Structure 1
Amino acid sequence: MASLEDLIPTVNKLQDVMYDAGIDTLDLPVLAVIGSQSSGKSSILETLVGKDFLPRGTGIVTRRPLVLQLNNIAPNSPLINDDLTETETSPDDRTGGGELTLEDHLRKNQSFEPQRREEWGEFLHLPGRRFYDFAEIRREIESETARIAGKNKGISRIPINLKVFSPRVLNLTLVDLPGITKVPIGEQPADIEKQIKNLILEYVAKPNCIILAVSPANVDLVNSESLKLARDVDPHGRRTIGVVTKMDLMDSGTNALDILSGKLYPLKLGFVGVVNRSQQDIQSNRGVEEALNNEEAFFARHPVYRTISTRCGTRYLAKLLNQILMNHIRDKLPDIKARLNTLMGQTEQELATYGGLGIITKENRAGLVLQLMNKFAARFVSSIEGTSSDISTKELCGGARIYYIYNNIFGHSLESINPTADLSTIDIQTAIRNSTGPRPSLFVPELAFDLLVKPQIQLLLEPSERCVELVYEELMKICHNCGSPELARYPKLQAKLIEVVSELLRERLGPTRSYVESLIEIHRAYINTNHPNFLIATDAMSDIIDMKKKKKKDQEYKRTDLEYAKQSLSKELSKKNNDIHSPHSTLQSDADDIGASETSSDDDENDTTKQSKDSFLNYFFGKDQQRPNQFNALSDHYALSPSIDNHNELADFDNLQIQETAQQNMDNKPQLTEREELECELIRRLIVSYFGIVREMIQDQIPKAVMCLLVNFSKEIIQNRLVTKLYKDSLFEDLLMEDQNLAQDRQKCVKLLETYKEASNIIGDIL
């Protein structure tokens, strides 16, 4: 395993590789610097670098994440002044095309040997270009920020990657994030606080990120926005380093010893106190080296901090960050290696779905076309037979759907047909009369049965044709779903395969429909009344006669019941009238009733009379439990209303009988003789019987015909048809034309795989 000093440069290489490929799938170890605006973040970074290179101003200055890679190089490193003539920036580039400085003017107009330069910066968005002037680095950061984030105060999540090479820096990788703000100022968006917080969380929420929480000493630590945000993602303080800035600006008599010792707010990685350069120091161009010396002197002379002065200051912070980052990288590299292996495996699988590298030669394209055609035909057949490996679990498809069409859709449609629904009694009567000619027949004419049953058999044609269409549609659906990821690589070939199979199915649709029509015509052509399952006419006639007699007897019972009810009602009404007009008549009526009762006691033994009376009541009052109550209510009405004209009531009762008889006559229209009624009923029953025989045969024959002429024929001939139509050398080049979008996706996948492999090699060199 390589030394710890090599770990940070290794991660920097990984970051460069990932950045060049535009990949952000690896959670690489990094130090993220967070803090409120004007908390001293920029001063810490500039002190770590030893140069003034960051934009300064009011409001939000850092509006894009700045990924800062510090690379320590030896003073005699070959990188120093490497290809200086070509990589040094021109005066026009440094000034942005503006006014030249005195140094630029002298450099442009005087020829002198360039001095040896040991410190420079490089941006990943400007590869190969070195910035030796750190003021120019500041201008490039401002320009690149405005290019992406705009010239207003908005922010962007796209980072700026800056590498700094110097013998005076320690190997570090830090991310400078926008300062936390609470209130929008000037042109800042209304939701600027939310935007900045979300951007910071994108970095600090990752488990491999070390959080550098910067808090000024002149602000109460409990109000530190950076520590609050760090606690949200690191509640136990295991990967947070606290940095207390502006230690020299604390009120007299106060100190931050409890904070720095971890008593007030414990963090596993501890707190470090620093003293920043003041604004006056920056304006007076006081050097960073001088500021570092003054910082060390401040802690060494301070009566409280001198006891911990060796653990304070920016120099100690740089060493601490370097050590923490190296240890963190050492602990996380095995996980990163495992993550890379997983990503490589997933990418290789994705690449396989695109058809590999897409190298097709003239020699292998014929075999490729044949292979794809065979796979297409095999998928078509397996979908019908139910042996496909990707059978849907959401809906019926393929052969299962065809079975459902035969047994459910087609079967139910046949069962729903009523063979005599459109045949009225007058239609049957007319057919019988037309079949006898000018004289009546002695027996029921068979010709009438033939004339009536043939149109009913024709009713079976429509559901049969619909069955053929549904199976055809399902086969077309199967055809369009026979594609595969490998075949999708060649859209023209896939379209041609579907076109050829669709044409085959259309060819078979015509003969199949013709045969189905022929089946119906066959059954209509010859009416086989000798079929063993056909209803025997004599048995049918005997049953009809029996039913006729029973119906006639029921009607006689009904008429008897009506007459009896009428007499009973008339007698009761007469009795009530006599009671009203004469008491003596009432007594006499009662005596008559007693005598009548005694006389009728003998008649009550007659079961027929009692049944007739009950039958009438049930018939007249609807055969339910409510109608007798209505009859009792009607009797009570007569008793309580002596003024009612009883003759009118009897007349109403007669009208009821007349209306019922008229209704029965209307229901039986047209008026038929008894013989005609028997003949019509016999014909109707024979039609139902024969139609059922034909329907059963059609339900069995149609699916067989469709399977033979359409489904099985297509299965057997599909492969030969594809080869005949498409296996031609003149078509190969056009058929194997790749889809451009898929080719681009495959190329991206290839580049991604190469990136992962390169990253894996980088890690492999140090593991």
Structure 2
Amino acid sequence: MENLIELTNKIQDVFSTISSSDALDLPQIVVVGSQSAGKSSVLENIVQRDFLPRGSGIVTRRPLVLQLITLRDPAAQDYAEFLHLDKTIYDFAEVRAEIEKETARLAGQNKGISRMPIHLKIYSPKVLSLTLVDLPGLTKIPIGDQPTDIEKQIRSLVVDYISKPNSIILAITPANIDLVNSDSLKLARQVDPEGKRTLGVLTKLDLMDAGTNALDILTGRAYPLRLGFVGTVNRSQQDILTNKAMKDALKAEEDFFNQHPAYRRISIRCGTDFLSKQLNSLLLNHIKEKLPEMRSKLNALIHSTEQELQQYGDPAMVAANVQGGPLVLRLLTNFSSEFVSAIDGTSPNISTKQLYGGARIYYIFNNVFGQALDTIAPCSQLSNHDIRTAIRNSTGPRPSLFVPEIAFDLLIKPQIKLLEPPSLKCVELVYEELMKICHNCGSKELQRYPRLFARMAEVVSELLREHLSPTVTYVASLIAIQRAYINTNHPEFLGAAGAMASLESEGKRKKRSEKKRNLSINSAASNASNSPMMRPQQEGAPMVNGVHIPKLHEEFSGLGDDGSQKDSFLNYFFGGASKQDRPALGPQDLISNAQYVPPLSMNNIIEAELEKKLEEVSMDGGDDWVAPHGTQNREDIETQLIRSLITSYFNITRKTIRDSVPKAIMHLLVNSCREAVQNRLVTELYRDDLFSELLQEDETLAAERQKCLAMLDVYKRAFGMINDAL
């Protein structure tokens, strides 16, 4: 049975070499108590040596893993060994100094703490085999140079240790305080509410007030614990200062319990000697109980570590440079396949958290680019003043005879130019996504060779940059092409008649709204209109907002009764010129000639379609027609007409750009790189003179492999030890 503790100590030593003691929950006794509760005195009494640092404030600032090994020779000399020192120490004052030195090395001099444990072995014929972990004392208020969150740090450290199911909690509490205020028992109850693995220790029983005792606690009546309570009497501060021999201190403790009227009945279950035996027995039984569980845990650790080691590959192949060519070719092919599958959406490692690869490109086309185009208003930054100025500038020194086509061209081209920035931004976003795919296409095996991966990323990045420039140029040319020729014959273009119809509809709608608003005063307005003063200047001529509009059957007909030319609607709209006076339409005799077809200019379209609209309006009676916004101001009508035409043509162009830009990007950038990536990688990197350089292994990964090998060796050794014990 004694060999079980020795076995656990060996396993603990083995695990400490790889700093992975947390991987296996080893059975051990964890000592917990508040500052000045007597933790150090209890441990020194068990060891029967002065070896722990003493002083004010926090003295224990790193966990101390203390292994006690029994020497079979009663005459053998006590000695100590630190795991971090290859040295045997016989002077225990030197042991104390080394603990202080090693604590300061990691925890510093400012009373901070460190989680890295110190491993100490003490060999003595006077001790029983035990494994104890001494932790920093619990505190509440920072003192001196202590960190402000020292209480939180210590509590977290203590909870981490006592939460492990295989730990036995040694909760130390001074007897001269109320048990309900014991910090050690409070923490122990949090992680062990049933008290199955908590052993309570009452110190300073000799300092209780006269007439009081802790018999109810020691017998389990006041605070039930499955493992019970053990009372101890440690050396006083005066005894320590006077270097009272440990042998004399233990004899004085024994006499105290044997002679005390309250404790002498249970003296056999009190004192340091009983505590040592109790701890030894508890630890032995605990280890024996947990060995099968530890073996299963180690078996699982061995399996998982072997799988992890396989991912790092065999370093022998790299060292000997065996089959470098086939390895490089396979890695290049795998990289190319991963790049293509990320674009196509066929990768086996598709993310479920965010869009990636081809799905991200689709999102850029249909959401980012599409919404960017939709946010551009057709007449953005185009005021009525700008439109009027363009109309006037396009007529030169001559008076305006009709709405000039040049004005429409001047105004629509800058608006089409607004589609260029989002189109070029779309190219940039797709390029960035392809670069992201490139840098994410690194398998676990490829990450072993950082130089090869870096060169792959460099080659693919260069390929993408080569295709980026012509893609940008072509997308920019798509906008330039749309600006180069304004196709007013497009079947979806609104045209002049459509624009006028839209304006008429708007005018009618406003007229109906005005009628409804003025419904309450219609009767009064009708009576007032019968007054001679309110009669229109021309009988039967309609009035709109106080402005006289000629009757269509008199003023807008083509010829009068005497055959004379009368004002037409176009004449009325375009400023009073006859068709013969409009050079864009040609002489009247050419127009009447059926074989003559005038060129389809913007002006022809406007006049022809407005004449057609005139006939439709005349057939409908014309009485409901009103000028847009209730005015006959010619400039306002021209402005609204041009604005409607710009909106119509811009929407057509935007639809074209929205369709053609993604197609251009897919053809010139995405598909071109997708098809050329493997050939480019093989051409640039599959060279004998580069194999040795490209296949140099990552130093960090090599260190990880070595660590994994060391862990596997530790697990196998520990498994062998436990297997032999069972």
Q: TM-score, normalised by structure 1?
A: 0.67
Is 1:66 aligned to 2:25, yes or no?
no
Match of 2:632? none
- State the partner residue of 1:125: 84
Q: Is the 8 A contact 2:412 2:646 kept in 1?
A: no
Point out the structure with max Rg over C-alpha: 1
Q: 1:289 Cα shift?
A: 3.6
Deviation at 1:726, TM superposition (A): 1.0
Q: Deviations over 1:399-426 (max 9, x none)?
A: 334455666677788998979x999899
User: In structure 1, what is the Cα distance between the partners aligned to 2:94 and 2:500?
Assistant: 117
The 2-side partners of 1:247 and 1:219 are apart by: 10
1:71 is displaced (CA, Å) by 0.6
CA drift of 1:60 comes to 4.1
The amino acid of 1:120's aligned partner reads Y
Shift of the 692–487 alpha-carbon distance from structure 1 to 2, 3 Å rule, reads same
| One-letter amino acid of the structure 1 residue matched with residue 8 of structure 2 | V
Residue of structure 1 in register with 2:606 after alignment: 680
Q: Give the count of matched residue pairs.
A: 632
Indicate conservation of the 8 Å contact 1:34/1:211, yes or no: yes
Which secondary structure state, in structure 2, belongs to the residue aligned with residue 21 of structure 1?
coil
After TM superposition, list the pairs within 5 Å mapping 1:430-509 onto structure 2: 472=431, 474-509=433-468
In 1, Cα distance between equivalents of 2:174 and 2:499: 114
Matching residue of 1:328: 286
Cross-structure match for 1:271: 229
Deviation track 1:121-160 (CA, whole Å, cap 9, x = no partner) reads 1112212x11112233233333333444445655444433
Contact 1:71 1:165 in 2 (8 A): yes
Q: Which amino acid aligns with 2:295?
A: K
Residues 33, 176 of structure 1: 8 Å contact kept: yes
Instruction: Give deviations 1:556-587, integer Å, cap 9, x for gaps.
Output: xx9xxxxxxxxxxxxxxxxxxxxxxxxxxxxx
Aligned to 1:140: 98
The residue aligned with 1:49 is 47
- Return the offset for 1:356: 5.3
Q: Deviations over 1:436-463 (max 9, x none)?
A: xxxx9xxxxxx99xx9999899979958
Q: Distance in 2 between matches of 1:353 and 1:366?
A: 21
CA contact (8 A) 2:570 2:607 kept: no
Distance between the aligned counterparts of 1:699 and 1:57, measured in 2?
Answer: 78
Distance 1:712 1:698 in 2: 20
TM-superposed CA distance for 1:707, in Å, is 4.8
Q: Which residue of 2 aligns with 1:565?
A: none
RMSD (Å), alpha carbons? 5.4
- 5 Å matches for 1:182-193? 182=140, 192-193=150-151
In the aligned structure 1, how far is the partner of 2:14 from the partner of 2:446? 34
Q: Distance in 2 between matches of 1:375 and 1:135?
A: 63
SS class of match (1:238): coil
SS in structure 2 opposite 1:765?
helix
Contact 1:457 1:523 (8 Å CA) reproduced: no
Q: Distance in 2 between matches of 1:681 and 1:66?
A: 101
Matched, 1:202 2:93: no
Structure 1 residue 631, shift from structure 2 partner: 5.6
SS in structure 2 of the partner of residue 161 of structure 1: strand
CA–CA separation in structure 2 for the residues paired with 1:9 and 1:545: 99
TM-superposition CA deviations, 1:354-385 (whole Å, max 9, x none)? 45547503222222211110011101221222
Aligned residues of 2:37 and 2:203 also touching (Cα < 8 A): yes
Evaluate the alpha carbon distance shift between residue 682 and residue 404 of structure 1 in structure 2; reply closer, same or farther with a 3 A threshold. Answer: farther
Q: 1:123 to 1:650 in 2, by over 3 A?
A: same
Residues in 2 aligned to 1:692 and 1:224: alpha-carbon distance in whole angstroms: 79
CA-to-aligned-CA distance 1:31-54 (integer Å, 9 cap, x gap): 122334443333322222122323
The residue that corresponds to 2:190 in the other structure is 232
Please give the secondary structure, in 2, of the residue aligned with 1:623.
helix
Q: Compare 261-270 and 200-209 and name the one that shifted more.
A: 200-209
Please tell me the residue identity of whatever aligns with 2:267.
Answer: S
After superposition, give the CA deviation of every residue in 1:253-278 in whole Å (9 maximum; x if it has no partner): 44333222111111100111233344
Of the candidates 160, 163, 167, which is equivalent to residue 121 of structure 2? 163
Alignment check: 8 A CA contact 1:406 1:703 kept: yes
Relative to structure 1, is the Cα distance of residues 41 and 681 closer, same or farther in structure 2, using a 3 angstrom cutoff? same
Question: CA, structure 1 residues 200+686, in 2 after alignment: closer, same or farther (shift >3 Å)?
Answer: closer
Equivalent position to 1:730, from 689, 698, 705: 689
SS in 2 for 1:31: strand
Report the more deviating stretch, 386-395 or 366-375: 386-395
Q: Is the 8 Å Cα contact of residues 468 and 513 (structure 1) preserved in structure 2?
A: yes
Listed as ranges, the gaps of 5+ residues in structure 1 are 77-115, 434-439, 441-446, 559-614, 639-644
Superimposed CA distance per residue, residues 700-748 of structure 1 (whole angstroms, 9 cap, x where no aligned partner)? 7776665555544433332222111110011122222334444444444
Compared with structure 1, are the counterparts of its residues 284 and 681 closer, same or farther at alpha carbon in structure 2 (3 Å cutoff)?
Answer: same
- Are the counterparts in 2 of residues 461 and 517 from structure 1 also a CA contact under 8 Å? no
Matches within 5 A, 1:639-654: none
Give the direction of change, closer, same or farther, for the CA distance of 1:246–1:389 in structure 2 (3 Å limit). Answer: same
Alignment of 1:44-123 (within 5 A): 44-75=42-73, 117-123=76-82
- Following superposition, the deviation at residue 547 of structure 1 comes to 7.6
Distance in 2 of aligned mates of 1:183 and 1:519: 73
Q: Are 2:625 and 1:628 equivalent residues in the alignment?
A: no
Structure-1 residue corresponding to 2:334: 375
**Which amino acid letter does the alignment assign opposite residue 102 of structure 2?**
E
| Structure 1 residues 623 and 140: CA distance shift in structure 2, 3 A | same
1:18 aligns to 2:15 (yes or no): yes
Aligned to 2:31: 33
Contact 2:65–2:132 under 8 Å retained in 1: yes
Comparing 399-408 with 220-229, greater Cα deviation is found at 399-408
Relative distance call for 1:262 and 1:507 in structure 2 (3 A) is closer
Shift of 1:19: 2.3
Q: Quick one: which of 671, 675, 678 aligns to 2:575?
A: 671
Shift of 1:172: 0.5
- Deviation of the 1:691 alpha carbon: 10
Secondary structure of 1:751's counterpart equals: helix
Distance 1:667 1:264 in 2: 114
Match of 1:18, SS state, is helix
The match for 2:599 is none
Residue 103 of structure 2 aligns to a residue whose secondary structure is helix
**Contact 1:117-1:132 at 8 Å conserved across structures:** no
Q: Which amino acid aligns with 2:6?
A: P
- Please name the residue that 1:657 is paired with: 546
Change (3 A) 1:389 1:240: same
What is the DSSP-based 3-state SS (H/G/I as helix, E as strand, rest coil) of the residue aligned with 1:485?
Answer: coil
Q: Paired residue for 2:349, among 384, 390, 402? A: 390
DSSP-derived class of the 2:281 partner = helix
Alignment of 1:290-689 (within 5 A): 290-355=248-313, 357=315, 359-360=317-318, 361-403=320-362, 472=431, 474-509=433-468, 622-629=513-520, 657-658=546-547, 670-671=574-575, 679-680=605-606, 682=608
CA separation of 1:120/1:708 partners in 2, compared to 1, >3 Å: closer, same or farther? same
> What amino acid is aligned across from residue 10 of structure 1 in structure 2?
L
TM-score, normalisation: structure 2: 0.70
Q: Partners of 1:402 and 1:197 in 2: how far apart?
A: 51
Q: Which letter does structure 2 place at the counterpart of 1:623?
A: E
- Counterpart AA for 1:722: L
Give the whole-Å Cα distance in 2 for the aligned partners of 1:481 and 1:375.
Answer: 13
Aligned to 2:137: 179
* Residue identity matched to 1:626: R
Residues 17, 623 of structure 1: alpha-carbon distance in 2 compared, 3 angstrom cutoff? same
- Contact kept? 2:427, 2:472, Cα under 8 Å: yes
